[in-house]
Amino acid sequence: MSDPTLAQQHLVKVHTTTHETVVTTHNHNQTPSINASGEKKKIVGVFYKGNEYAKLNPNFVGCVEGALGIREWLESQGHQYIVTDDKEGPDSELEKHIPDAHVIISTPFHPAYVTAERIKKAKNLELLLTAGIGSDHVDLKAAAAAGLTVAEVTGSNVVSVAEDELMRILILMRNFLPGYHQAVNGEWNVAGIAHRAYDLEGKTVGTVGAGRIGKLLLQRLKPFSCNLLYFDRLRIDPELEKEIGAKFEEDLDAMLPKCDVIVINTPLTEQTRGLFDKNRIAKCKKGVLIVNNARGAIADTQAIADACSSGHVAGYSGDVWFPQPAPKDHPWRYMPNHAMTPHISGTTIDAQLRYAAGVKDMLDRHFKGEDFPEQNYIVKEGQLASQYR
C-alpha cells in the first residue's frame, strides 16, 4: 500500500540507557516561542517502542519514535514533549516526570497506569489523554476527585476494532489456524480441519454491549445472514435495530445460552470485571466461540483457560489481556484453540492517524482554553461521565 508521507521529526539527540529510549530534540536555531496562552506545558507521551519498524512506515505514528507526529508542532509553541515507553515502577522514566507534567498522553496498547498514588504526586497535572479508546488504565474516581480532565479520541478506532472482531469471528468459526499450521508444517489433512469448520451463515451471534463498536460490528455482520442478538443497558434505535436485523436481549443470562458466538463489547467497570467467570461460562452453549477485544479482565483468566481445555469453549480470540503486556507465561498464550494476538486491533496505521489527529486537536483546544468534543470526555473537570459511574 502506498502511503502519504508525513513530515519527519528532526532527530537531534537520543538518550539511551539500559531500560528505555527517550527521544527529545532541541530547537537550537531559535528561542523557544511562547504559545498563545503564555504558558509552557510539559507534555508526557507513553507509547510502545517502534524500534526497527519505526523507519519502515512513515505513517507509523503510534510508537515512541513517531510520537503521534506532533513533536514539531508542540515544540514550535514552546512546550516540552517527553516521550517514553518506560512506565512501570518507581524508577521508571515516567515516574520522573509525574511531579511536574501538565498532560499525560497514553494509549491502551502500552498503557501508563494512572493510579491514585501517581495522581497524588502529580502537582501540575491537568489533563489525561488517551490516544485511542478506553481509559480504564486510569483510576477515574481518583482523577475526578483531583479535579482532572480525562478524555479519549472517541470514534478513532471503533471501525478498526469492529473489523478485527469480525475477523476473529471468522477465524474461529471457519477454523483457520489449524489449516494454517498444516500449510507451514508440510501437512495436508483436510479432515483435521473440516470436522470443526462451519460457515458463519445461520449462526447466532450475540454482542455483550452495543455501543459504537458493537453497532459497527452488527452492521458488518448483517450481510452474513446470521441470527443477531445484543445485550446492553440501552436499547438501540428501533430503526437501526430493524435495518441491521438485531434483536434486543434484556437479560444477559438469557441471551448467552442461545449464542454460537459471543462478542464482548463493554467497558471494564466494577460491574463487568470478571463478568465471564466459571459459572457464567458453564451456562453458555457447549462449543461456544468467544471474541474479546474489549478488556481482558472482563473474562476470568483461569476460567477461560479451563473452559478451552475442557472444550466447553471451542475457541477464544482477542487482543486484550490482564495484565497487559501479557507476561510470557500468561495462560491464554498456551491454551487450546485460541487465536490471540497482542493488543493491536485499535492501533492499525489508519487508527493511529486518526487518534494522533484527535490528540492534537484536544491539545490545541486545551492550550486555548476551549472545550473538547463532548463525546470525548470521560471526566470533565472532576465530573465523571454517566456511563462510567
Binding span for a copy of itself by CB under 8 A among 21-29, 121-129, 219-227, 358-366:
219-227
Q: Which one is catalytic: 79, 110, 295, 354?
A: 295
When binding is defined by CB under 8 A, the residue of 25, 219, 227, 269 that contacts a copy of itself is 219
Residue 172: name the closest of 276, 275, 288 by CA.
288
Instruction: Check if the beta carbon of residue 62 is closer than 8 Å to that of residue 355.
Output: yes
Annotation marks residue 343 as catalytic: yes
| Contacts to a copy of itself from residues 123-152, by CB under 8 A | none
**5, 18, 184, 374: residue in contact with a copy of itself (rule CB under 8 A):** 184
Q: Where are the beta strands (DSSP E) in 66-126?
A: 80-84, 103-106
C-alpha cell at 158: 471503533
Q: What are the CA-CA distances from residue 205 to residues 87, 229, 328, 334 (Å)?
A: 38, 6, 32, 26
Query: Is 324 a residue of the active site?
Result: yes
Indicate the residue among 127 and 339 with the shorter CB distance to a copy of itself.
339
Question: Between helices 212-221 and 158-173, what is the axis angle to 10°?
Answer: 50
Pairing of strands 42-46, 204-208: unpaired
295: annotated active-site residue: yes
The interface with a copy of itself within residues 30-59 (CB under 8 A) comprises 48-51, 53-54, 56-57
From CA 174, how far away is CA 281, in angstroms rounded?
A: 22
* Using rule CB under 8 A, residue 357 touches a copy of itself: no
| CB of residue 257 to a copy of itself, shortest distance in Å | 11
Taking CB under 8 A as the criterion, the residue among 38, 191, 234, 239 binding a copy of itself is 191
With CB under 8 A as the contact rule, the residue among 39, 117, 199, 371 that binds a copy of itself is 199
Binding part of the chain for a copy of itself, among 5-13, 139-147, 163-171, 373-381 by CB under 8 A, reads 163-171
Alpha-carbon torsion (115, 376, 110, 44), positive or negative: negative
Contact between 60 and a copy of itself by CB under 8 A: the answer reads: yes
Told to judge if 157 belongs to the known catalytic residues of this protein, a careful annotator would answer yes
* Nearer Cβ to a copy of itself (25/182): 182
Of 220 and 280, the one with the shorter C-beta distance to a copy of itself is: 220
Laid out side by side, the sheet with 127-130 consists of 13-16, 21-24, 80-84, 42-46, 103-106, 127-130, 149-152, 377-380, 383-384
Sites for a copy of itself among residues 287-346 (CB under 8 A): 287, 314, 319, 325-326, 328-329, 332-334, 338-345
Say how far apart CA 350 and CA 347 lie, in whole Å: 8
Q: Does 87 contact a copy of itself by CB under 8 A? A: no
- Residues in region 235-294 near a copy of itself by CB under 8 A: 260, 285-287
Catalytic one of 79, 118, 168, 343 = 343
Among 99, 202, 245, 336, binds a copy of itself (CB under 8 A): 202
86 contacts a copy of itself (rule: CB under 8 A): no
Closest CB 64 distance from a copy of itself, rounded Å: 9
Contacts of 346 (CB under 8 A, 6+ apart): 108, 109, 132, 133, 134, 156, 157, 160, 161, 164, 293
For the packed helices 158-173 and 176-184, what is the interaxial angle rounded to 10 degrees? 70
Instruction: Report in angstroms how near the CB of residue 35 gets to a copy of itself at its nearest.
Output: 31
Instruction: For residue 96, give the 3-state DSSP assignment.
Output: helix
Closest CA relative to residue 316, chosen from 180, 200, 168 = 168
Stretch that binds a copy of itself, among 137-145, 215-223, 268-276, 298-306 (CB under 8 A): 215-223
Count other C-beta atoms under 10 Å from residue 225's C-beta. 13
State the binding site for substrate.
133, 157
The set of catalytic residues is 157, 295, 324, 343
